[in-house]
Amino acid sequence: MSLLADAFRPSRGSSLLRPVRAPLCLAILVQVLSSALILSPLVGVTELARTLLADEAGRSRHAWSIVAWSVGGLAAGLALRGLVQLTTHLADNALSLHLRRRLAERLSRAPIGWFTANSSGRVRQAMQDDVAAIHHLVAHSYVDLTDAMATTSFVYAYLAWVDWRMALVALVPVLVFAVLYARVMAACGEEQMARYGRELERVSHAVVEFAQGIPVVKSYGRQGEAHAAYRRAVDDFRSFFRAWARPLIEPETLASIAIAPVTLLLLVLGCGVALTGLGWVEPWQVLPFAVIGLGISVPIVTLSSGAQALQTARAAAARLDALLALPVQPAPAGRQRPAGRELVLEHVCFSFGEREILKDVSLRLSPGTVTALVGPSGSGKSTLAKLLLGLDRPSGGRITLGGVDLQDIETDYFHGQIGFVPQEVRLLRTSIRDNIALGRPDASDAEVEAAAVAADIHRRILKLPRGYQSVYGEDAGLSGGEAQRLSIARALLLDPPILVLDEATAQADAEAEAAIQDGVRALIADSPHRTVLIITHRLGAIKGADTIVVLADGAIVEAGAHEALTRRDGAYARMWRALDTSTGSTAAA
Amino acid sequence: MILSRLSRLLSANDGARLTGYVRWSLAYCIAQGVTLALAAPIVGALLEGETARAAAWLVPLLIGTTVTWQLQYTSVRGGFEIALALLDTLRHRIGEHVVALPLGWFTPANVGRLSVTLGQGVMDILGLPAHQLTPLMRAVVTPAVLIVTLALYDGHMALAAAIVTPALAATYWWAGRLGRSVDSSAHAATAEAGERMVEFAQSQLILRAFGCGDHGHAAFDRALVTQNRAKRRQLWVVLPPLLANSWVAQLSFLSLMACATALALEDSEPHRIAMLVAMLVLVNRIVEPLTEVAIYSAGIRMASAHIDAVETILAARALPVPTVPAPPPTRCDIAFHKVSFAYSPDLPVLDGLDLTLPACTTTGLVGASGAGKSTILRLIARFWDPDEGSIQIGGVELHRLDRADLMSLIAPVFQETYLFSGTLRDNVLLGRPDASEAELREAAGLSRLDDVVVRLPAGWDSPVGEGGTLLSGGERQRVAVARALLKGAPILLFDEATGALDPESQAAVADGLRRLHGRATMLVISHQLETLSHVDRIAVLDRGRVVEEGTHDELVALGGRYVEFRNARAAAEGWSLPTRREPARNRPG
Ligand SMILES: Nc1ncnc2c1ncn2[C@@H]1O[C@H](COP(=O)(O)OP(=O)(O)O)[C@@H](O)[C@H]1O
Ligand SMILES: Nc1ncnc2c1ncn2[C@@H]1O[C@H](COP(=O)(O)OP(=O)(O)O)[C@@H](O)[C@H]1O
Ligand SMILES: [Mg+2]
Ligand SMILES: [Mg+2]
């Protein structure tokens, strides 16, 4: 009964099941009734046999009434069972969606670093496979286990009532089964199941990388073989699974033989013949053992496979619980809407683990200015941009917008204030329109098109099979530069007071870049109080910026206008010289 | 049907094993049927009070039981062995097939199906021989044997038992038909939702930056809801036949019970009555397995849907390979001759392109973004075949080369760098796992990866994260370049490979590549015209053709498209706000 108790105990697993606890309890109770009713024809058979064999008057009426009772009991039992199945399946169906959404919501609030530290395969494993394991628990395992236990208890109670000695003998195979199966169950402990989940997750993860990195796999993998990491994951899974499952085959097979109908038949008939010979039991008493007693092998087998499913579900529930217990990024403490628009970094520090990426960075981005951020790749420019976006929290210092700490600003308001073009273009597999309108799903078509025009991608979109309705990744394929321009359009659509462009035109050709610059300029011409932060390596494009900030190794080493920095002959001037050497001449810029 | 499909997934050797397993299982089912049938004479004798006769019948029962045990043991173990054989080969076989498929195959739908199949799908297919085939056979064959033996005892009873078979077959067929009709949509919805989950995890940065962090974007939630609906529909469609099946099977039990009652009430001969009652023991042995047919067949239906998916994947056609591959070329010049190519029929990307890259020279490729530069590189790697025209390496048509030979000739750096989770070292060594430490360092030096290695705390053993997300964009590009250099292929293809590097690193890498001059045939795609000033030849791509070709100086002298590109950047105003006056554009130094 301890297995069933799990459903009710406020233990780890059951917190996930809370929404379905009521229907589940009801289903379990009804199932007990149904199991009893379904046994009625089997009991009926014994009674029928006694009636038929007895040579009494009115046996005909009696016999038919037994048949009628069996029919009634069975029908009621089956109807109830149908009801139970429907209830649990529907409850589970609702639960699965609920769990998936809950996970999505929780993960959305986890620190962004969690996603870089964990594979997307893990997310899918949890949302898909682990939730499916819970499905099995809710829709099948509990009810099946109840059925098996109720049936077995009823059968043995009835058999003991018929003859307790034979009932004891009929119990022997169950005991043998239990001993053998305990070995199987011991191997399906929490640790092993967790390991199984991990290994499967690795395969899942390897498949994601295999498919997404297919160009690299094809040209760098060993010839004629699948991706090496995939093969390794598969091989590891295989050795794990073999080592785990192989030793279980023997006890599992023997256990199933111990409980097989032929075994039970031999036992009860052998014993029945002997006891009848001794005169200890009446011949008719042997009958129920042969009819019902043999029937316990099915519920016992159910019991065992149900117990395994329960273990699987437990492991899955543990993984889900771990995800649901992820630390969330603290929600904004206040709901402020600052009046000012000045973005200020004060002594900002940031580290990934031990490594300090940003060191005491102070910077002021005022409305109506263009600030350019340059510096060696890996110096922390993108990290700085992410902090400005509130995607990560500084580990020291603070960032304020209009004097209010980013943490205290109402989230929705804040998202409307900043438009961001990340260095890694990421388009979703939705229509081109929805991709552009990601931050403003309610934007009108005209606004979406205006943003696309400004990012110089409108004409290309019109050439797609279904124009703005084409789905990226399905009927719309874009070149790297085109995708990047779409990503710019996405930020421009927000029409944000603050615009952060992280190497946004790195893949654009010169003409496209000029067009984008003109587009952005035109779009923001109407309101001069924009704040723009440009991260770029194209020094030629930022000479006009109000401030050029040079970041090196996470610290600001220089800041000022082009002229001033050039005169200083520091890091910035060095970068220009590098450009000149690679041009190899003093070609006009 | 299912067996022959299963055997097609196995190697020839294991296929023979499958046949053996099926034979043993059949023998087991028959033996079990015959053994169980012995219950009737024993119980009959007991009921008649003839204990001695009953005891005599125990001997064949004992023999039958031991034979059944033996056969059961053999067949169950055989099933497990086949499952393990599938485990050993299936994932590898699919992986090896998939890696040879053209890039166009990797659509979201296909990738989704691939992920589901390689994860849970394979496990479900394994479950078939391990857990489901034997019980299904038992559920069908044992009752059949029992009905036959019933006929030996009493024709009426056998008839009454046999009469339900058509009804059972009908519900079985009905269940299968209904099930299959909803399975495919449920499977597709599951695969789609799985892909959306991966997308959700990988797009967190932009989802959050654009304020759709709470639940992911609309398409994600829609996929979850669609999956949920599909499952619910599946439930409503699958559950009724499942219940109907157990109703019909139980009905047969009742009809047999009624039949036995009617016969026994007509008869007054004690021997006949005893025999009829004894037959009721067998009746339950017939009915019980029948009630399970639907359950097992549902499992089998599910597994066979996964087999469908495997077959679909394995049926996808790889790009045609020569039956007798041409010997790998010794010269490594590349020639495009009148090549036309389009991703979608109405929008040609390359249109009669002629281009020659002489062996051991460096060619720069310039063109607007979307002009088809990356496409040229993909065609060289034979990720697609051109629609028209021919591409040759060393005078050999690409499609006459063995895929492995071709891949060993080229080392591409793609525009979208993709790294696999693992360490820096793993990723660089991908192209040549047996490279020496010195070679590794040389590649790192040329690509400036050594700077990164020094900076990262764990050096060469730093993890890069899924897709390389733990590195900055420029660091990732250096890894990709190092990987290509280490491979030591005679053809190097760089697609905007240094776009995310700062000018200093870019110059250094360009320097490094220059040192390889004369050792490899190189194609360099870049928007940074400065990086191309030293290459042997520059080709300018426009409207699907090469419109200009020559050295930097020649092209400058020509004053055509190339010069337009140069001037576009120079003329661009750069990043500045429209309201501000342009500062003077002086160059330092
Ligand atoms: N999620 C992360 N975990 C650990 N290190 C990271 C992570 N993201 C970036 N880094 C490291 O931080 C440094 C700065 O990265 P980034 O800000 O992207 O540089 P860039 O100036 O090129 O934009 C790099 O050396 C990179 O390896
Ligand atoms: N997978 C794809 N499916 C459909 N169209 C594509 C695909 N990849 C690229 N294209 C289109 O083909 C054209 C050439 O792309 P590409 O070769 O990537 O250009 P680029 O010169 O910028 O490298 C572009 O117009 C692009 O939109
Ligand atoms: Mg960056
Ligand atoms: Mg490209």
Which pLDDT belongs to residue A10? Answer: 40
CB-ligand 1 contact for A116 (6 Å cutoff): yes
Residue B465 CB-half CA count within 13 A: 16
- Lookup: tokens for A386: 């992410």
Location of each CATH 3.40.50.300 domain in chain B: 334-573
Residue A508 Cα to ligand 4 midpoint, Å, equals: 9
At the topology level, CATH places domain B334-573 in Rossmann fold (3.40.50)
Contact of A218 with B430, CB cutoff 8 Å? no
Asked if A215 lies within 8 A of B414 by C-beta distance, the reply is yes
Contact of A178 with A205, CB cutoff 8 Å? no
| Distance between CA atoms of residues A284 and B577, nearest Å | 102
| Distance between CA atoms of residues B153 and B155, nearest Å | 7
Tell me the pLDDT of chain A (589 aa) as tens digits: 344 444 444 444 457 888 888 888 899 999 999 999 988 888 888 888 888 877 777 788 888 888 899 889 999 999 999 999 889 989 888 888 988 888 888 888 888 888 887 778 888 888 888 888 888 888 888 888 888 889 989 999 999 998 888 899 888 988 998 898 888 888 777 788 888 888 888 888 888 888 888 888 888 877 656 678 888 889 999 999 888 888 888 888 898 899 888 999 999 999 999 988 888 888 888 888 888 888 888 888 888 877 777 888 888 888 888 888 888 776 666 677 777 888 999 999 998 888 888 999 999 998 888 899 998 888 999 999 989 988 888 888 889 888 888 888 887 788 888 889 888 888 888 899 999 998 888 889 999 999 999 888 999 999 888 989 999 988 888 888 899 889 999 988 988 888 898 988 888 887 788 888 887 777 667 677 888 899 988 888 888 888 999 999 889 999 988 888 888 888 888 888 877 765 543 333 3
Average pLDDT over residues B416-440: 89
At B516, phi and psi to the nearest 5? -85, -5
Burial of B519 (0-12, 13-18, 19+ CB in 10 A): exposed
The per-residue pLDDT for range B233-288, each reduced to its tens digit, is 888 888 888 888 888 888 888 888 888 888 888 877 778 888 888 888 888 888 88
Position in ligand 2 atom list of the atom nearest CA B415: 23
The per-residue pLDDT for range B35-58, each reduced to its tens digit, is 999 988 898 888 888 888 888 999
Distance of CA A214 to the CA centre of its chain: 23
Contact of B484 with B451, CB cutoff 8 Å? no
Contact of A588 with B570, CB cutoff 8 Å? yes
The kind and range of the H/E element at A440 are none
Interface test with A, best of B46, B456, B501, B535 (most A CBs within 10 A): B46
Closest CA to B42 of A269, A279, A262, A47: A269
Average pLDDT over residues B337-353: 90
Which amino acid makes up residue A203? V
Tell me the domains of chain A and their CATH numbers.
2-8+16-324 (1.20.1560.10), 343-588 (3.40.50.300)
Which pLDDT belongs to residue A52? Answer: 81
CB burial readout B43-66, b (16+ within 10 A) else e: bbbbbbebbeebbebbeebeebbe
Residue B378 Cα to ligand 2 midpoint, Å, equals: 10
Which pLDDT belongs to residue B581? Answer: 41
Nearest CA in chain B to A82: B243
Torsional sign, CA B199, B201, B205, B207: positive
CB-ligand 1 contact for A536 (6 Å cutoff): no
Q: In the sheet where A418-421 sits, what is the strand order?
A: A418-421, A498-502, A531-535, A369-374, A547-552, A555-560
Quick one: which ligand is closest to A377's CA? Answer: 1
Average pLDDT over residues B454-467: 88
Which pLDDT belongs to residue A448? Answer: 93
Instruction: Find the angle CA(A420)-CA(A422)-CA(A426) to the nearest 5 degrees.
Output: 115
Which pLDDT belongs to residue A588? Answer: 33
Average pLDDT over residues B329-350: 89
Asked if A74 lies within 8 A of B276 by C-beta distance, the reply is no
Interface test with B, best of A537, A563, A581 (most B CBs within 10 A): A537
The kind and range of the H/E element at B545 are strand B545-550
- Residue B458 makes CB contacts below 8 A (sequence gap 6+) with B423
| Ion ligand 4: residues, Cβ under 5 Å | A 479-480; B 374, 415
CB burial readout B492-513, b (16+ within 10 A) else e: bbbbbbbbbbbbbbbbbbbebb
Location of each CATH 1.20.1560.10 domain in chain B: 2-315
The kind and range of the H/E element at B496 are none
Torsional sign, CA B364, B365, B366, B370: negative
- Residue B455 makes CB contacts below 8 A (sequence gap 6+) with A378
pTM passes above 0.90 = no
Which pLDDT belongs to residue B350? Answer: 92
Give this complex's ipTM: 0.86
Torsional sign, CA A348, A349, A352, A355: positive
**DSSP secondary structure letter of residue A263:** H
Contact of A113 with A392, CB cutoff 8 Å? yes
Residue B415 Cα to ligand 4 midpoint, Å, equals: 6
Asked if B98 lies within 8 A of A52 by C-beta distance, the reply is no
Share of chain B above pLDDT 90, in %: 22
The kind and range of the H/E element at B518 are none
Residue B158 scores a pLDDT above 50 = yes
B2-315 maps to CATH 3.40.367.20: no
Nearest-by-Cβ selection for B578 from A52, A391, A521: A521
Burial of B569 (0-12, 13-18, 19+ CB in 10 A): buried
CB-ligand 1 contact for A115 (6 Å cutoff): no
Nearest-10 Cα torsion for B240, B245, B246, B251: 120
- Strands B396-397 and B388-393, bridge-based pairing: antiparallel
Contact of B90 with B122, CB cutoff 8 Å? yes
CB-ligand 1 contact for A352 (6 Å cutoff): yes
Which pLDDT belongs to residue B213? Answer: 62
Closest CA to A432 of A486, A482, A485, A479: A486
Q: Ligand 2 pocket test: which of B105, B343, B378 has the largest number of ligand atoms within 8 Å of its C-beta?
A: B343
Contact of A227 with A206, CB cutoff 8 Å? yes
Which pLDDT belongs to residue A462? Answer: 92
Which pLDDT belongs to residue A433? Answer: 92
- DSSP secondary structure of A64-97: HHHHHHHHHHHHHHHHHHHHHHHHHHHHHHHHHH
CB burial readout A205-234, b (16+ within 10 A) else e: bbbbbbbbbbbbbbbbbbeeebbbbbbebb
- Residue A128 makes CB contacts below 8 A (sequence gap 6+) with B190, B193, B194, B197
| Distance between CA atoms of residues A143 and A149, nearest Å | 10
- Residue B564 makes CB contacts below 8 A (sequence gap 6+) with A511
Give the E-state strand segments of A176-275 in sequence order: none
